Structure 1
Amino acid sequence: MLAIVCPGQGAQKPGFLEPWLDLPGVRERLEALSVPAGIDLVAHGTVSDADTIRDTAVAQPLLVAAGIIAAAELLSPADLPSPDLIAGHSVGELTAAAISGALSDEDALRLVAVRSRAMADDAAKEPTSMAAVVGGVREEVLAAIERHGLHPANLNSAGQVVAAGAVDAVAALAEDAPARARVIPLQVAGAFHTPYMAGARDAVAAFAPELAPAAPSTPLVSNAGGELVTDGGRYLELIVGQVASPVDWEACMATLKERGVTGIIEVAPAGTLTGLAKRELKGVALANLNVPADLEAARALVREHAGVAPTAEEA
């Protein structure tokens, strides 16, 4: 059983798309996707600096386009089996929608353009931020987050919760960390996946009827409690709600485990989600697809794990 996973905002790095432009047709495809994205994906993926691509309105379309390109190259051989499941973290859910066919590539880029601009607008309304709380006891961590008037924006794993809210409240949490936990401020523009993003959620909801969701070719695992989704309209509905609701990646990993996933490939820019899986999904084979040189090993993993039911011992 093989899953493809797609990273969220913060995974981007300056120049990370440069190696992909050496492949035939990639530059032209990125140029075409730049139209619905409303930004120059080639420039931002190759020469833009870290501050430029940290901008929400740039980072999100860039990540979705990168994942679409990497997955298309990965799955291009006609004899390659299809993945069994696809999941994305936060904006990675739009990448997952495109890879699965729940949305066309163009619709996914149109949607992320609206989503990213609306989230950037909400983030600019008042000073908000996010911080990762690593370690500690889950109940105590959540209690500390609530005590400081913050929200649990990301439930990333058993040992990591991301808190979000007012800048001063995030700073106060850092000074009052839960027992046996570290609070690590994140370089983000706002309190994503919290009620602070209500305006962005409404903007995405207003735009969603312009899209044409379809049945995904591969089941999707949603950030909303790890729900397994086989209907494109339902997945789009969950994507809309996700803008102002927590990302439950811990539940997504639980679903992958329950379904018997034995191999996971993270598309570019990879490493964050396989890092979480390494700690939470012991024994699952992992691969990062960051550059074209990774394609051969990733395809080998697809051939070894896709469509293969887990053994009784693995299940």
Structure 2
Amino acid sequence: MLTFLFPGQGSQQPGMGAAFADDPAWSVVEQASDATGRDVAHLLLDADADELVETRNAQLGTFVHSMVVLEALRSRDLRPAAVAGHSLGELSALCAAGVLGFDDAVRLVAERGEAMQVCCTQRKGTMAAVLGLDEPQVTEVCAAVDGDVWVANSNAPGQVVIAGDPAAIDAATAVAKEAGAKRVMPLDVSGAFHTPFMAPAGERLGAAIADATFHDAGVPVAANVDGAIHTDAGEWPVLLERQLTSPVRWTGCVEALLAAGATTFVEVGPGAVLTGTIKRIDKGTARHSVMTPDQLDAVVAAIGADA
């Protein structure tokens, strides 16, 4: 079963759209600019790393790049039988599954990025990846710290992200190393995403969600909040709002997709972070990443147009 995965914030790269600038799929960029009032082409072609790291830019740029690649895949008759996205990427997955129309999805992405960036200025937070401990162990580490720190992402066995107050992250780092963590890596982010620190952003996004139209999914979608498959339109408004303050259950998402029959995963958009997590969860699957037309052609050749 062919499954498309969509990356989240952090996968963006300067010039990430340049290879598709002359492809017919580039029309997606113009549509995104019209819907949001933002110069999306600038984000994909000209913005440097410092500009792209800003949450409002990282999220919009990553989403639209994924949608360009998705359109190019569709034009080659490659369509998924299931989808999932990591954090921001969940909105990409919902668009790919037909739960959200493109204009609604890109407007929600823009509002989400703005809301989360405002949160970052209101309450300082950060994140760190804990390698070598599983989620229950990292949960115990967070509980042992006198401060605000939580599990934010469960990405793969032995790969868990924590988020919270910077001082609490420092304390948790020391506790995690004592508990046997191989490494704790600070992440270059401006806030404690997927924690209670994002509650104001969730409320703001909820207001925007109320103005969007949701449809039943055309293919199964694995949700970050609970790691389960959802297809009912009525479930997604709550799931999307909760996602901002809830841990990303990415391991659960992948396990649910595997149980549903996923055998081939294609990461659609910048980077190859998600295919890396798939390898840690199940080495028996086929994994591909598509960021450029050359990679797209290689995937088409490997999978076949009738996959």
TM-score range, shorter chain: over 0.9
Matched, 1:121 2:118: yes
Distance in 2 of aligned mates of 1:225 and 1:10? 22
Match in the other structure for 1:12: 12
Alpha-carbon deviation of 1:98?
1.0
Paired residues of 1:39 and 1:58 also in contact (CA < 8 A)? no
Q: Deviations over 1:181-229 (max 9, x none)?
A: 1111000010011100100111111121211111222111111222111
Matched, 1:164 2:175: no
Match in the other structure for 1:205: 206
User: Which runs of 5 or more residues in structure 2 are unaligned?
Assistant: none
**After superposition, where does 1:1-315 map in structure 2 within 5 Å?**
1-24=1-24, 26=26, 28-77=27-76, 80=77, 82-148=79-145, 149=147, 150-178=149-177, 179-181=179-181, 182-303=183-304, 306=307
Larger CA deviation: 257-266 vs 86-95: 257-266
Distance in 1 of aligned mates of 2:66 and 2:25? 15
Across the aligned residues of Structure 1 and Structure 2, the Cα RMSD in angstroms comes to: 1.6
Paired residues of 1:128 and 1:190 also in contact (CA < 8 A)? yes
Paired residues of 2:151 and 2:163 also in contact (CA < 8 A)? yes
2:16 alignment partner, SS class: coil
Paired residues of 1:204 and 1:240 also in contact (CA < 8 A)? yes
Q: Deviations over 1:73-93 (max 9, x none)?
A: 10113xx36311000000000
Which 4+ runs in 1 deviate beyond 3 A?
A: 300-306
Larger CA deviation: 28-37 vs 279-288: 28-37
Paired residues of 1:2 and 1:305 also in contact (CA < 8 A)? no
Change in 2 beyond 3 A, CA 1:245/1:223: same
Q: Deviations over 1:14-43 (max 9, x none)?
A: 1111111021351x4312212323421111
Change in 2 beyond 3 A, CA 1:147/1:304: farther
TM-score normalised over the length of structure 1:
0.92
Change in 2 beyond 3 A, CA 1:25/1:5: closer
Alpha-carbon deviation of 1:108?
0.5
Paired residues of 1:114 and 1:204 also in contact (CA < 8 A)? yes
2:275 alignment partner, SS class: helix
1:5 alignment partner, SS class: strand
Paired residues of 2:2 and 2:262 also in contact (CA < 8 A)? yes
Distance in 2 of aligned mates of 1:287 and 1:114? 30
Change in 2 beyond 3 A, CA 1:235/1:303: farther
2:80 alignment partner, SS class: coil
Q: Deviations over 1:34-68 (max 9, x none)?
A: 23234211111111111100100111111111111
Change in 2 beyond 3 A, CA 1:295/1:102: same
User: Which runs of 5 or more residues in structure 1 are unaligned?
Assistant: 307-315
Change in 2 beyond 3 A, CA 1:138/1:229: closer
Distance in 2 of aligned mates of 1:85 and 1:21? 28
1:19 alignment partner, SS class: helix
Distance in 1 of aligned mates of 2:299 and 2:90? 21
Paired residues of 2:227 and 2:252 also in contact (CA < 8 A)? yes
2:14 alignment partner, SS class: coil
Query: Letter of the aligned partner of 1:87 in structure 2?
Result: A
Alpha-carbon deviation of 1:274?
0.1
Alpha-carbon deviation of 1:239?
1.1
